[in-house]
Amino acid sequence: MILFPNCKINLGLNIVKKRDDGYHDIETVFFPVHLKDSLEIIEKEKFEFSTSGFSIEGEQDKNLCIKAYDLLKKDFPQLPAVQMHLHKAIPMGAGLGGGSADGAFTLKLLNKKFELSLSEKQLIKYSLQLGSDCPFFILNKPCFATGRGEILEQTVLDLSEYKFLVVHAPIHISTAWAFSTIKPLKSVKPIKQIIQQSISTWKAELINDFEKPVFTKYPEIKNIKDKLYDAGAIYASMSGSGSAVYGIFKKENNISISFANNYFVKTLFS
């Protein structure tokens, strides 16, 4: 059985406060877009995990797909051994949530394939053990997110008239460093309100708090955003804590823009 975990972009990202547990409360809108990994699981006598596409850094046993399997295996000992293959097409460390999507989709795939009868609410509970933005990928619909990103409110947001140009420079940004640079402050106008306005107003009002420190340290990333606006983007922003930047364009627009050969550049749709 195969599923195709998709990525997300952040429409606005406000760091509201630092919590006593060391995490931060945020406000953002998670919006799914059609850049997808592929995940295949088949039953096997012995557990196996393999990957292709973009190389995955770090120890294999820390991969969220394996962690997702282990979570369910603990509560469902009848879950058989599987062979799992993950093909990575979503850049990692880009703020696009590819790893979180892979973990959440592993839960969904195992639930479906082996008829575990887990409800959406139960899947969300498991996914939160994998990461703060994993629950979003269980719902996989536009959501206003608060708390650590796990408190989700589905929102109506139709961007079908637009296309997205996603650009990822080969720059790794430490999420811990990015958070350490932020002085939390609740925005004057909530993202939830801004997102319902005309997209033409977003440039002036819809802000990602991480952009200021990231652009200061990595002007190359700011240059991407500037080039997207120069090419006619209605709205452009960094996603998450970076380093991917996206521009939103009218579907009929011909985008004339070029980047270095080692950049990841992809046109996507909602």
Residues 153/154/157/160 CA torsion (nearest 10 deg):
140
Token pair for residue 60?
A: 């294999």
Token pair for residue 8?
A: 């997300």
H-run or E-run covering 57: none
User: Which of these is catalytic: 133, 163, 227, 266?
Assistant: 133
Where does residue 126 fall: left (phi above 0), alpha (psi -120 to 50 degrees), or beta otherwise?
Answer: alpha
Q: Distance of CA 1 to CAs 4, 111, 127, Å?
A: 10, 11, 20
Identify the CA nearest to 134 among candidates 146, 143, 124, 142: 124
Spell out the residues 6+ positions from residue 200 whose beta carbon is closer than 8 angstroms to its own.
234
Token pair for residue 204?
A: 């002036």
Q: Give me the amino acid identity at 41.
A: I
8 catalytic? Reply is yes
Spell out the residues 6+ positions from residue 63 whose beta carbon is closer than 8 angstroms to its own.
49, 56, 86, 99, 102
Cα angle value 134/16/155 (rounded, 5°): 50
133 catalytic? Reply is yes
- Which residues are catalytic, by number? 8, 133
